[in-house]
């Protein structure tokens, strides 16, 4: 047995009648075997958009056209110092030691394919969708494995025909090193990938973005404005998106700008703003609102919320609550909350918030 890292467990088994003890040595090994090596690699994944439809329409011609394109495209990978991993069917998977080379190769392939398609009738165009990622992979003499390659394949799957999608890791490495511009598409939930992947599209390559289920929320901008409450406190509020108004109640320790870019909250806020006019505000004593205020209390927070909830707008607004904002919502008059028929403020949440407030005040008085 090789000297692999692991853990050794010695078990002593005794036979009382004879007094003889046997020692059993069990060795458990959970390290990666020596024949599985790792490295950092840039991965390019590509396939033909609509290939099955082309095959269904004219199988012999499609195979002939594909082989003709491959004869031109595959040598380009070697020209950019890449290595072909797989060419099954209409797909291509290649690895590069340099992510800049990988992206430049992808751009060169798309431009060459655009030239070749220019001489073919539109219904017979073959357009690659390409995804590029960089990550830690397991490799052997022939193949590579791991999320590094899986993410590249998923990026290719959501790219538009003729386009190139890259991950945030690739963008960070190539930004400023290539004469290309990029469009930020924001975090995307990719199939069988646990965490959202932040995606960028290479500008000027391919057609308009048409990925199925793609949330183009990263281009949403928020506009920050200010207003004053009845007791003169200046509140900062932000408006983003378009559609039915949706108010997110303020809470302690929030900040309009930081929360908008927060890796924890930005997906939520931009998702809400995709189909609504999202309105958020910093509570008094927080964020961009006035910090030096006379009163910081539950009643003051309710008054701040009522700054937004005034007729006739109340009938048009929907309220989004968080557990930190629940106390303010629970203290608002019931008829005011019920004026919004689509409000998410349920009677149960108001009851729970009132109980929380009562316990908080009761514990404070005991101290």
pLDDT at 248 over 80: yes
**Structure-derived torsion over alpha carbons of residues 127, 132, 138, 144, reported in degrees to the nearest 10:** 20
pLDDT mean across residues, the chain: 76
pLDDT at 253 over 90: no
pLDDT at 269 over 50: yes
pLDDT in tens, 66-112: 999 999 999 999 999 999 998 888 999 999 999 999 999 999 999 99
**81 or 207, greater pLDDT:** 81
Angle at 161 between CA 156 and CA 163, to 5 degrees: 65
Task: Determine the pLDDT at residue 34.
Answer: 57
**309 or 171, greater pLDDT:** 171
Task: Determine the pLDDT at residue 324.
Answer: 46
Task: Determine the pLDDT at residue 263.
Answer: 66
Task: Determine the pLDDT at residue 278.
Answer: 87
- pLDDT bracket for residue 274 (50, 70, 90): confident
How many angstroms separate the Cα of 151 from the Cα of each of 5, 93, 188?
30, 12, 11
**132 or 351, greater pLDDT:** 132
Distance, CA of 327 to CA of 357 (rounded, Å) = 7
Instruction: Please state which of the ranges 103-112, 154-163, 214-223, 231-240 shows the lowest mean pLDDT.
Output: 214-223
Distance, CA of 131 to CA of 106 (rounded, Å) = 8
pLDDT at 186 over 80: yes
- pLDDT bracket for residue 338 (50, 70, 90): very low
Using DSSP's 3-state secondary structure scheme, residue 296 falls into coil
Torsions phi, psi for 41 (to 5 deg) = -145, 145
Instruction: Please state which of the ranges 122-131, 196-205, 313-322 shows the lowest mean pLDDT.
Output: 313-322
**215 or 110, greater pLDDT:** 110
pLDDT at 61 over 90: yes
Tell me the mean pLDDT in the region 299-307.
79
**112 or 219, greater pLDDT:** 112
Pairing of strands 128-139, 37-48: antiparallel
Tell me the mean pLDDT in the region 285-305.
84
Task: Determine the pLDDT at residue 212.
Answer: 40
Tell me the mean pLDDT in the region 171-179.
93
Task: Determine the pLDDT at residue 99.
Answer: 95
Task: Determine the pLDDT at residue 148.
Answer: 87
Domains of the chain, earliest start first: 37-202 (3.30.70.1230), 222-366 (3.40.50.1820)
* Cβ atoms of residues 281 and 250 within 8 Å: yes
Task: Determine the pLDDT at residue 231.
Answer: 86
């Amino acid at each position: 047995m090789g000297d692999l890292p692991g853990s050794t467990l010695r078990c002593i088994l005794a036979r009382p009648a004879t007094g003889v003890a046997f020692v059993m040595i069990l060795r458990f090994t959970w390290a990666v075997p020596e024949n599985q090596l790792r490295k950092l690699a840039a991965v390019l994944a590509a396939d033909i958009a609509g290939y099955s439809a082309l095959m269904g329409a004219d199988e012999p011609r499609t195979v002939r056209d594909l082989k003709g394109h491959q004869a031109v495209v595959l040598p380009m990978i070697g020209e950019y110092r890449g290595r072909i991993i797989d060419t099954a069917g209409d797909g291509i998977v290649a690895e590069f030691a340099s992510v800049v080379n990988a992206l430049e190769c992808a751009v060169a392939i798309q431009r060459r394919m655009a030239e070749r398609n220019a001489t073919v009738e539109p219904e017979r165009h073959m357009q690659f969708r390409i995804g590029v990622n960089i990550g830690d992979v397991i490799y052997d003499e022939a193949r590579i494995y791991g999320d590094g390659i899986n993410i590249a394949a998923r990026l290719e799957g959501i790219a538009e025909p003729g386009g190139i999608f890259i991950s945030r890791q690739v963008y960070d490495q190539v930004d400023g090193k290539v004469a290309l511009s990029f469009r930020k598409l924001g975090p995307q939930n990719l199939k069988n990938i646990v965490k959202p992947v932040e995606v960028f599209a290479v500008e000027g390559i391919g057609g308009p973005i048409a990925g199925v289920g793609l949330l183009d929320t990263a281009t949403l901008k928020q506009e920050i404005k200010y207003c004053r409450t009845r007791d003169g406190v200046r509140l900062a509020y932000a408006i983003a998106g378009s559609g039915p108004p949706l108010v997110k109640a303020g809470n302690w320790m929030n900040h309009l700008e930081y929360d908008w870019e927060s890796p924890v909250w930005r997906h939520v806020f931009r998702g809400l703003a995709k189909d609504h006019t999202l309105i958020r505000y910093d509570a008094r004593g927080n964020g961009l609102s006035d910090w030096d205020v006379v009163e910081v209390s539950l009643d003051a927070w309710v008054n701040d919320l009522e700054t937004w909830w005034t007729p006739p707008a109340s009938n048009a607004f929907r309220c989004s609550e968080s557990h930190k904002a629940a106390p303010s919502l629970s203290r608002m008059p019931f008829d005011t909350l019920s004026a919004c028929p689509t409000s998410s403020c349920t009677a149960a949440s108001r009851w729970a918030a009132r109980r929380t407030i009562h316990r908080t005040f009761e514990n404070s008085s005991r101290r």
